[in-house]
Chains A and B, each alone.
Chain A
Amino acid sequence: MPFIEASDLVKTYTPKGAPVVRALDGLSLQVPQGTVTALLGPNRAGKTTTVKVLTTLTSPDSGSAIIDGVDVLAEPERVRRMIGASGQYAAVDENLTGFENLEMVGRLYHLGAKRAKERARELIELFDLVEAQNRVVKGFSGGMRRRIDLAGALVINPPVLFLDEPTTGLDPRSRLALWDVIESLVSGGTTVLLTTQYLEEADRLADSISVIDGGRVIAEGTADELKASVGGQRVALTLVEADETEVVRGILQRYGSGEPVPSNEGKTWVVPVDDGPTALSRIVGEVTAAGIALHDAGMRRPTLDDVFLQLTGHAAEDAAEDEKGAA
């Protein structure tokens, strides 16, 4: 039996003067005990709404959600005693110190004054925040803030952990550091559901990935399964200048087994091919003959980017950027 099970979740919003938004459109999800599942998708795909339903923050219009046999919708109080949540929406108090935040959370879990303090001290050490523990969170760096946030989710050693975009907005170094922390945590047997818009993050942390778009799961499996489902090899070209893109597209269409996909403002092109080496040498030959300068050309295995692109018709990170630009 899955530890976390969501079935047919539907959640609609009606923004003022706008048509109904189906944030969740029949989303179903199963997370086995002790595993890490990543919800992968662009902004507004329904990732955060899914986590909000499972952490009792919002109720769906229809559907069901069960965590370790407890009905999330019927018994939210029981669920709150077994989950830890961390992410963009469940923040820490900026005006309290790191230690005070953790102690407060412990008290609100009703651990009692003494145990709440003990546990806060432990977590502060665990997350390498000893020197910063008596400073107000407002002055924390982005990485420290995420760590204290994550520590807050771990106060009761919950069997289930929800991490909503744990590394969004972090610089690469802090992101790597946080990945290490999360990996060590999950090695202890915690069941984790995390959301991310970074394919790399899902690839690295998750046992299983659910790709979601438009409020439903459009594919699921391990990273390898998903990559295999897209199949075959790819030829990737990087142009020096994005001048003659239509010529490039024409050549790639002739030798590829699928539609060529530009990115990086038309400088990078990827096309699925059947016979990698032959296709590569012919493509490079024709492109060079057409007088187009190449930075790089090669074959590669499909990445989760390709998976996402194939499934949704748009690139994950591009979509995320678009949303940010629109907001």
Chain B
Amino acid sequence: MSTVDSSGTRGAGGGLDARGASATLQPEPGTAIGRFLSDGWIATRRNLMKIIRVPDILVFTLLQPIMFVLLFTFVFGAAIDVPGGYTSFLMAGIFAQTVVFGSTYSGSAMAQDLKDGIIDRFRTLPMSGAAVLVGRTNGDLVINGLSMLVMMGTGWLVGWRVESSFLGFLAGVVLLLLFAYAFSWLMAFLGMSVRSPEIINNVSFLVLFPLTFISNAFVPTENLPTPLRIFSEWNPVSALVQSARELFGNVPAGTPVGDAWTAQNPILTVLIGIAVLLVIFVPLSIAKFAALGKK
């Protein structure tokens, strides 16, 4: 530690002697696991600071979900007649759509960090590359968690209630966040594969908007034209929405359920989806990060 003390300003001349006769600072003793966890935390903390410092993110995270809940409830609620009331039907759909869109942030932020050169700074440091990705996806998880809190509060105000149990409620929230977290890894991979952050924003809008709308998120699907209805039944977003509805107890008796296996087994479908996303995109993203310098 004494190495730090010997460097300092060199008096009135204003000269600098950052190195002087002092030695290079050595790392604290630590295990590989300990360092990985520390790196992951530092990378996460950096992304959390960004949430606080960049107003756009806060607006996207907090205000937009509130707006969606209110708009859908009051605009569509009057026109769409579902058993149990539209607000109760809607909330799981809004949750799912918001957290899926929240995950795209990993993609655009990864692309932006690459462009800004901060990733190159990290790559000259003796830190774990995987930790950069862990920090990134953790950041999304926190953003999505905040969005969920805000949406649940707003939903409660307009009459949404959890009709199941506390455990069911917890399971529903965890499932939504876990799916979004797994999806963040896919987005992080895409973020490292594109040339600019704008591409991620545009593509995710073009892909995710139809994906979340051609589902059971906002409307009952039994009256959709057949091709859309089949798409919707096999759509993983539908499975996510259906799972959340069931876990929150927002599915009144008599609500029709699709014939597809995924519609019959929504929770299992989502769990499989989470596993598949993580098994594929965690290693793929880590390999992609490690290969950044090879091209």
Contacts and interface: CB of A to CB of B under 8 A. Distances in A.
Interface in A137-170: 152, 154-159
Contacts of A123: 18
Contact of A156 (B15, B24, B123): B24
A111 B27 contact: yes
A108 interface: yes
B63 to A, nearest CB: 20
Interface stretch (B112-120, B180-188, B209-217, B266-274): B112-120
A187 interface: yes
B28 A95 contact: no
Interface string B173-200: 0000000000000000000000000000
B227 interface: no
Contacts of B45: 104
A95 B46 CA distance: 9
A80 B129 CA distance: 13
Given A80-B125, A90-B120, A185 B39 contact: no
Please tell me the size bucket of the interface on A: 35 or more
A233 interface: no
Nearest to B123: A57
Nearest to A181: B16
A81 interface: yes
Contacts of A88: 117
Instruction: Pick from B19, B46, B124 the residue with the most CB of A within 10 Å.
Output: B124
Contacts of B293: 52, 56-59
A109 B28 CA distance: 9
Contacts of B264: none
A112 interface: yes
A279 interface: no
Contacts of B49: 95-96, 100
A interface majority secondary structure: loop
A58 B53 CA distance: 32
Instruction: Pick from A59, A85, A93, A94 the residue with the most CB of B within 10 Å.
Output: A93
A188 B27 CA distance: 22
Interface in B223-237: none
A110 B28 contact: yes
Contact of B53 (A95, A180, A189): A95
A126 B30 contact: no
Interface stretch (A35-43, A114-122, A224-232, A292-300): A114-122
Given A80-B124, A126-B9, A110 B19 contact: no
A55 interface: yes
Given A52-B293, A80-B124, A88-B117, A112 B42 contact: no
A82 interface: yes
A108 B125 contact: yes
A185 B19 contact: yes
A119 B123 contact: no
Interface string A118-132: 110011011100000
28 contacts: A56-B293, A83-B124, A85-B124, A89-B117, A91-B116, A91-B117, A94-B116, A95-B50, A95-B53, A104-B46, A105-B125, A108-B127, A109-B25, A110-B27, A110-B35, A112-B28, A115-B4, A122-B4, A122-B8, A126-B7, A136-B53, A152-B121, A156-B24, A157-B3, A157-B25, A181-B16, A184-B17, A189-B19
